[in-house]
Amino acid sequence: MIFTNLIKTNLRTKQFGKDIEYYQRLKSTNRQAWELIQVDKAKHGMIIITDNQFDGKGRGGNTWFMSPSKGIAMSIILIKKFSLNDALLIPIAAGVAVAKTLSYRGGNPKLKWPNDILLNKKKCGGILCESKISNHIVKKMVIGIGLNINESIADFPKSINKSATSLAIETKHPNQRELVCAIFITYFEQLLDHLDSCIKDWLSYCVHLDKPVSFSYNGSNYCGIFKGIDHSGHALIEIDRKEKLFPSILIN
C-alpha cells in the first residue's frame, strides 16, 4: 500500500501533490486522470497514484508492466494554459525530473527519447504525456510516470527480465516509494518554471546522441539518427540524410 500522507510529508512544492487520489488497483492512472478531468473533479497539480496498475499503456500503444506493491504508477494533472511551445517541453522536463530523482536515490540514470528511463542500459521506467489542444493553446495535460522501484529480477515476466531493471536491483537496496514520488513531484514542479534549461539537462542524460533510434509516430514506424532536441522540444531525427522533427508529446 502507498501512504499518501508520507508523500505529502516529503513534498517541497507550492501546489503539486496537495491533492492525491490513491487507488489500490487501477487500469491506468492516465485514464483515471482524464475521467476526473471530464467530470470536473480534477485540480491543477493533482496526483493520481495506484499500487497496482494492470492495464498501463506506453507510447505507441505499448503495454507497461507493473509489479503490484513494488513499482510506481502515477499521473500528474495539469489544468493550466500553456503555449504549444512550452507544452512540447514538458515531457522533456518530466524526463529530467525522473533522472534527477533516480540520481538522488543512488542510481545512474540515462534517458532515451521519446520516453524511456534507463539504469545500467536496461529499462526501469517510462513517461507518457497526453494533452488537449485548442487554438494552439494546451489547456489540459496528463503526465503519466511508470517506474520500477523495488522489483527483483524474479518479479519481471520472462519476456522482459533481460531488458528490465529496477532502482533496487541497481542500487542493491530497497527504496521507500512515497519518498521517491515526493522527490520527483518536487523536482518536476521546480523544472516547470525553467523549461528552457531542461533541454541542456535532458541531453546530458541522453544515452543515444548521434546514434540510431527506432520509434513509432502517428501509427508509422521510423528509424534514424538522433541528433538532439530543438528549442521547442522536438526531437531532431536524421532520416535518409535529412533532419526531421518529431514531438515528444501526444496531442489531441
What confidence score (pLDDT) does residue 181 get? Answer: 98
Kindly report the pTM of this predicted structure.
0.94
Helix (H, G, I), strand (E, B) or coil at 87: helix
Give the 3-state secondary structure percentages of the chain, helix then strand then coil, rounded to 5: 30, 35, 35
Mean pLDDT lowest for which of 34-43, 65-74, 218-227, 242-251? Answer: 242-251
Q: Averaged over 165-181, what is the pLDDT?
A: 97
| Mean pLDDT for all residues in the chain | 93
What confidence score (pLDDT) does residue 108 get? Answer: 97
Rounded-to-integer distance, Cα 107 and Cα 60, Å? 27
Tell me if 95 sits within 8 A of 112, measured CB to CB: no
pLDDT class of 92 with cuts at 50, 70, 90? very high
Q: Residue 193 pLDDT > 80, yes or no?
A: yes
Mean pLDDT lowest for which of 3-7, 53-57, 167-171, 210-214? Answer: 53-57
Helix 84-104 with 195-205: angle, nearest 10 deg:
50
Q: Residue 231 pLDDT > 90, yes or no?
A: no
Residue 167 C-alpha cell reads as: 532502482
What confidence score (pLDDT) does residue 206 get? Answer: 96
Domain boundaries, the chain: 4-205, 212-251
Q: Which architecture does CATH list for 4-205?
A: 2-Layer Sandwich (3.30)
What confidence score (pLDDT) does residue 61 get? Answer: 58
What confidence score (pLDDT) does residue 109 get? Answer: 98
- Per-residue pLDDT reduced to its tens digit, 37-84: 999 999 999 999 999 999 876 655 566 788 999 999 999 999 999 998
What confidence score (pLDDT) does residue 228 get? Answer: 94
- Per-residue pLDDT reduced to its tens digit, 101-115: 999 999 999 999 888
